[in-house]
């Protein structure tokens, strides 16, 4: 059986572990837990998943080098989490990155250019009810593509169940589409303290969204991304997720750091590189704690 390592034991980490259906040895790498076996259940299927928890320091003692790694941490933790175990990575290690926003995945690909690094954009909806219960609340899709030259579809199929993702030779437009959605929705749900759907029914929030989308249109046009007018895409996502509280709203509510630097911050950086004015995004970035 293959050893699969997972960084990040939040809901996304649990979900990715569940995809292997116990056909692999699953190891969560955690900062503060000693090695121990544990189980969790996934609802509504009631599948039981068994795994171990291992600290980075124990990796060199009891494990051979890591060949398959899935990084499910928040964007701001991803690079330092990989660095913390870099001495344990095999020369042919394959790393799958499941972060929101953009910037963290590219930084990891730049740091380890000879490894096979993939990015995933996921629309799966999950939350942890407790440390032993994962709730798969919304069936979504996973889109995966390469970030380094060594990352190939046929190497990924040697360990990742092909039924759980769609492969894209060019993942960039998919990551950009999600970034556009997240930058026009997530910070506004924090500023207006509401669910995604309410951003359409509250006039102030809706006109704020339109100003963000005009800046996103200019950026998408310059990057030749066929997404403008982005307001249509953003409004349709607000409708289909009307009752959701965005991930940024939830982070803010629980006083956790937010991913604003990897969402709005990335848009601002790209606009600056291309000489595009983006005062609405700059104003939003200044209002949200990172
Ligand atoms: O980040 C999120 O919460 C989601 O990507 C989205 C689409 C905004 C729905 O809540």
pLDDT at 31: 85
Domain end position, chosen among 152, 169, 186: 169
Percent of the chain surpassing pLDDT 90? 88
Q: Which of 177, 182, 252 to mutate to test the pocket of ligand 1 (most atoms within 8 A of CB)?
A: 182
Asked if the model's pLDDT at residue 13 lies above 70, the reply is: yes
Residue among 168, 153, 171 nearest 105 (CA) = 171
Domain shared by 185 and 162, yes or no: no
3-state class of 208 per DSSP? helix
Could you tell me the CATH number of the domain that includes residue 74? Answer: 3.40.50.720
Beta bridge partners of 136: 126
d(CA 108, CA 85): 13
What is the distance in A from the centroid of ligand 1 to the CA of 232? Answer: 16
The strand order across the sheet containing 36-43 reads: 125-130, 133-138, 36-43, 47-54, 25-29, 3-7, 66-71, 89-97, 116-122, 142-146, 166-167
Q: Which of 25, 178, 198, 272 is catalytic?
A: 178
Domain shared by 125 and 235, yes or no: no
Domain shared by 159 and 212, yes or no: no
- Most confident by average pLDDT, 58-67, 109-118, 136-145: 109-118
Could you tell me the CATH number of the domain that includes residue 246? Answer: 1.10.1040.10
pLDDT at 35: 61
Domain end position, chosen among 142, 169, 196: 169
pLDDT at 34: 63
Domain shared by 21 and 162, yes or no: yes
d(CA 4, CA 15): 13
Domain shared by 110 and 16, yes or no: yes
The mean pLDDT value of the chain amounts to 95
Domain shared by 221 and 267, yes or no: yes
Mean pLDDT check: name the lowest of 36-40, 70-74, 213-217, 275-279: 36-40
196 lines ligand 1 (CB under 6 A): yes
What is the distance in A from the centroid of ligand 1 to the CA of 87? Answer: 34
> What pLDDT, in 10s, does the model give residues 30-57?
987 766 899 999 999 999 999 999 998 8
Domain shared by 179 and 165, yes or no: no
Domain that holds residue 143: 2-169
Domain shared by 161 and 216, yes or no: no
Domain shared by 93 and 222, yes or no: no
Sign, Cα dihedral of 11, 234, 222, 259: negative
Number of domains in the chain: 2
User: H-type helices in 167-263, by residue range?
Assistant: 172-191, 198-201, 203-222, 230-240, 247-253
Write out the H or E segment, with its range, that includes residue 83.
helix 75-83
Domain shared by 128 and 179, yes or no: no
User: Measuring from atom 10 of ligand 1, which residue has the nearest CA?
Assistant: 246
Domain shared by 7 and 122, yes or no: yes
User: Measuring from atom 1 of ligand 1, which residue has the nearest CA?
Assistant: 247
Q: pTM here? A: 0.93
Residues 69-77 have a mean pLDDT of 97
Q: Which residues contact residue 41 at a Cβ distance below 8 angstroms, ignoring those fewer than 6 apart?
A: 47, 48, 49, 132, 133, 134
Question: 195 and 260 in contact (C-beta within 8 Å)?
Answer: no
d(CA 245, CA 189): 7
3-state class of 68 per DSSP? strand
> What pLDDT, in 10s, does the model give residues 158-191?
999 999 999 999 999 999 999 999 999 999 999 9
Report angle CA 178, 253, 204 to the nearest 5 degrees.
Answer: 65
pLDDT at 138: 83
Ligand 1 atom showing the smallest separation from residue 196 Cα: 10
Domain shared by 113 and 255, yes or no: no
Residues 258-277 have a mean pLDDT of 98
pLDDT at 42: 97
What is the gyration radius of the CA atoms in the chain, in angstroms? 19
User: Measuring from atom 3 of ligand 1, which residue has the nearest CA?
Assistant: 246
User: Measuring from atom 9 of ligand 1, which residue has the nearest CA?
Assistant: 246
d(CA 199, CA 207): 9
């Amino acid at each position: 059986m293959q050893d699969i390592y997972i960084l990040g034991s939040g809901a996304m980490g649990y979900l990715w572990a569940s995809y292997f259906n116990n056909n692999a040895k699953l190891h969560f790498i955690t900062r503060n837990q000693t090695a121990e076996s544990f189980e969790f259940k996934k609802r509504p299927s009631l599948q039981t998943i068994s795994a171990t928890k291992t600290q980075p320091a124990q990796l060199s003692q009891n494990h051979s080098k890591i060949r398959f790694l899935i990084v499910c941490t928040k964007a701001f933790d991803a690079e330092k989490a990989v660095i913390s175990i870099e001495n344990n990575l095999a020369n042919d290690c394959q790393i799958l990155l499941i972060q929101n926003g953009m910037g963290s995945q590219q930084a990891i690909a730049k740091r380890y250019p000879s490894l096979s690094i993939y990015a995933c954009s996921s629309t799966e909806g999950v939350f942890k009810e407790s440390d032993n219960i994962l709730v798969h609340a919304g069936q979504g899709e996973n889109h995966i593509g390469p970030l380094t030259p060594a990352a190939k579809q046929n190497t990924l199929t040697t360990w990742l169940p092909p039924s759980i993702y769609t492969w894209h030779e060019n993942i960039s437009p998919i990551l950009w589409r999600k970034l556009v959605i997240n930058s026009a929705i997530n910070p506004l749900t924090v500023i207006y303290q509401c669910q995604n759907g309410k951003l359409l029914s509250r006039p102030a929030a809706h006109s704020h969204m339109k100003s963000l989308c005009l800046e996103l249109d200019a950026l998408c046009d310059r990057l030749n991304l066929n997404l403008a007018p982005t307001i249509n895409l953003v409004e349709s996502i607000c409708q289909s997720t009307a009752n959701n509280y965005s991930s940024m709203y939830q982070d803010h509510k629980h006083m956790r750091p937010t991913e604003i630097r990897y969402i709005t911050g990335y848009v601002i950086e790209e606009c600056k590189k291309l000489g595009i004015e983006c005062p609405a995004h700059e104003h939003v970035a200044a209002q949200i704690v990172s």
